[in-house]
Chains A and B, each alone.
Chain A
Amino acid sequence: MDPLKNGERVNNFNFLVMPNSYDRNVFLNCPFDKDFLPLLKPLVFTVYRLGFNPRLAIERADSGETRLEKIKEIIESSRFSIHDLSRIKSSSINEYFRMNMPFEIGLDLGCRAYNRNSKYRTKRTLILESERYSYQKGLSDLSGIDPKCHNSDPQELVFQVRTWFSELGYSDLPPGSTVWDDYNIFQADLYEKKSQQGFNKREIDNLPIREFISCIENWIKAHSNNQ
């Protein structure tokens, strides 16, 4: 059965809003630093726009919970995972190799392989990189897993993520060009709304990522109610 036709709502924009559940959650394992934001923002939007729930380690600020506990909870709650390895390589002298993302892939693949609960055998993993097969130079154990390459281009990233979900059998997805155009419309709506609230351009461009993600979520919900 096509999972997208399982009694779920379709809105004006012809996209779906899903309840939060294992089968819809997507663990996003990627950097959260400023350099990566031009890719992280459309990645989060695309996951929502395709009808899934992005889950990130920064999604909640609970100082009583360690980062590792958060990540383990997210991995166990998510059937899908997207790991962006385009920034694991150190880019300057004396900069350390960035090991968080490879470590979290290991946790995710370990959950799939070793957890006794059989539902974890259905986990699906996408690896993204900016240069084809570059990650294998530092993580050759993953040879044989076919990554997708976005060339550090936000539009290409949208297309690659959409293609991956399509390859998993989700056949009623909107075209990548529609997702990309909707992301641009969302950016315009956000700019207009925040300007009206007194934010200047610099403040809008530098919204904290959690606030930005919340705006995406509200935009998706608002458009899903227009049916």
Chain B
Amino acid sequence: MAPKRVHIIKREEGWAVKKQGAQRASKVYTSKEAAKSGSKKLQKKGHDIIIHKRDGSIEEWRKGK
């Protein structure tokens, strides 16, 4: 089964950590670094963390552990 994806996406108010398919973001952080740190637990649970640039393109794709 493909790993579940979590996206770190630019929002007007900061950076959102959002599971793909969820209606709402799990949390919106004021900084991208904070969003990356906040997503580590999800990565340890096996989720791929997809970090987007401000323009939506891919900055980094962290495989789930």
A41 at the interface (CB under 8 A from B): yes
Interface residues of B in 24-65 (CB under 8 A from A): 50, 52, 54-58, 61
**Contact partner, A42, options B7, B20, B56, Cβ 8 Å:** B56
CB B18 to nearest CB in A, in angstroms, measures: 7
Say yes or no: A188 contacts B9, CB within 8 Å. no
CB B21 to nearest CB in A, in angstroms, measures: 9
Residues of B within 8 A of A38 (CB): 54-55, 57
**Contact partner, B55, options A42, A188, A192, A204, Cβ 8 Å:** A42
CB A130 to nearest CB in B, in angstroms, measures: 14
A153 to B58: give the CA distance in the assembly, Å: 16
Residues of B within 8 A of A42 (CB): 55-56
Interface residues of A in 174-216 (CB under 8 A from B): 180-181, 183-185, 187-188, 191-192, 201, 204-205
Say yes or no: A154 contacts B55, CB within 8 Å. yes
Say yes or no: B56 contacts A184, CB within 8 Å. yes
A155 at the interface (CB under 8 A from B): yes
**B54: nearest chain-A partner, CB-CB:** A154
Chain B count of residues within 8 A CB distance of the other chain: 16
CB B22 to nearest CB in A, in angstroms, measures: 10
CB A44 to nearest CB in B, in angstroms, measures: 12
**Contact partner, B12, options A155, A185, A201, A205, Cβ 8 Å:** A155
A 24-44 to B, binary, CB cutoff 8 A, 1 in contact else 0: 000000000000001101100
Residues of B within 8 A of A183 (CB): 56
Say yes or no: A184 contacts B61, CB within 8 Å. no
CB B50 to nearest CB in A, in angstroms, measures: 5
Say yes or no: B57 contacts A205, CB within 8 Å. yes
Interface residues of A in 12-57 (CB under 8 A from B): 38-39, 41-42
A183 to B58: give the CA distance in the assembly, Å: 11
Say yes or no: A187 contacts B57, CB within 8 Å. yes
B 1-20 to A, binary, CB cutoff 8 A, 1 in contact else 0: 00001010111100000101
**Contact partner, A187, options B12, B18, B20, B52, Cβ 8 Å:** B52
Residues of A within 8 A of B11 (CB): 155
Take A38-B55, A188-B58, A205-B57 as given contacts and tell me if A155 and B50 are in contact as well, using a CB distance cutoff of 8 Å.
no
- The CB with the most chain A CB atoms within 10 A, among B10, B20, B56, B61, is that of B56
7 sampled A-B residue pairs with Cβ under 8 A: A39-B55, A41-B55, A42-B55, A154-B54, A184-B56, A185-B7, A205-B57
Inter-chain pairs besides A155-B12, A181-B7, A184-B52, 16 sampled, C-beta below 8 Å: A38-B57, A41-B55, A42-B56, A155-B10, A155-B11, A156-B12, A181-B9, A184-B7, A187-B52, A187-B57, A188-B7, A188-B52, A188-B58, A191-B58, A201-B58, A204-B58
